[in-house]
Amino acid sequence: MTQTLIALLMCAVVLTMVVGPDAGSAQTKGSTAVIKMASGGEIVLEFWPADAPNHVKNFLDLAKKGFYDGTRVHRVEPGFVVQFGDPQSKTLGMDDPKMGSGGPGYTIKAEFNKRPFDRGVLGMARTNDPNSAGSQVYLMLGPAHFLNGQYTAFGRVAKGMDVVDRIKVGDRITSIKVVSQ
């Protein structure tokens, strides 16, 4: 029994050394996502899996499933954020009191990191509970360093910030396509 446990432990150690501790995040390394807006234009996102691996994986998984396709931007705060990711925005009126409260049916734990919330950063929205994030995200229109260490930054706009600047409440996201590099 002891020899079997030692053999299994040694196999696990060797496997970790060969494959690496971040083997599951290999699918997120080098991935980008292209947001196509119904009003015209594209936004290219790049991700930071080393800083927030679970947030990156969550967003990419949802995008691959088409979760964000057809959703609308439900919040725009000039100089601050553009927010989207509520699945209810596909059908609810923009003035519905439930708008902005929807998610994927689960939450993920916070991955606060040292990335500053500067213009173009992709962050994960949440409630007052740090571990309540799900699908709603925001793109920074300007710096907001009071968010640093309080919210999870997990990517940035690599191209198309001019498109982000033109977004209005109610604008529809046609699709988000993941591009692996």
> In which band, very low, low, confident or very high, does the pLDDT at 86 lie, cut at 50, 70 and 90?
very high
* 53 is a domain residue: yes
Domain total of the chain: 1
Helices (H), the chain: 2-19, 53-64, 161-166
Specify the pLDDT at position 1: 52
pLDDT at residue 181 in the model: 57
pLDDT band with cut points at 50, 70 and 90 for residue 24: very low
Please indicate whether residue 76 or residue 6 has the higher confidence score (pLDDT).
76
- Structural domain boundaries enclosing 87: 24-179
Render the burial of 32-71: b for 16+ CB within 10 Å, e for the rest: bbbbbbeeeeebbbebbbebbbbbbbbbbebbeeebbeeb
Residue 126: which residues within 8 A CB-CB, separation 6 or more? 110, 132, 133, 136, 151
User: What's the whole-model pTM score?
Assistant: 0.84
Question: In this structure, is residue 100 part of a structural domain?
Answer: yes
Q: What is the pLDDT of residues 150-168, one digit of tens each?
A: 999 999 999 999 999 999 9
Q: What pLDDT shows up at residue 25?
A: 41
**Mind listing the pLDDT tens digit for each residue in 107-137?**
999 999 999 999 999 999 999 999 999 999 9
Looking at every residue in the chain, the average pLDDT score rounds to: 88
Cα 42 → chain centroid: 17
**Residue located via tokens 């699945």:** 87
Q: Are 75 and 123 in contact (CB under 8 A)?
A: no
104 belongs to a structural domain: yes
The answer on pLDDT for 27 being more than 80 is no
Check if the beta carbon of residue 33 is closer than 8 Å to that of residue 154: no
Q: Is 149 contained in some domain?
A: yes
Residue 6 domain-assigned? Answer: no
Domain at 158, CATH number: 2.40.100.10
Nearest to 175 by CA among 67, 93, 91, 92: 67
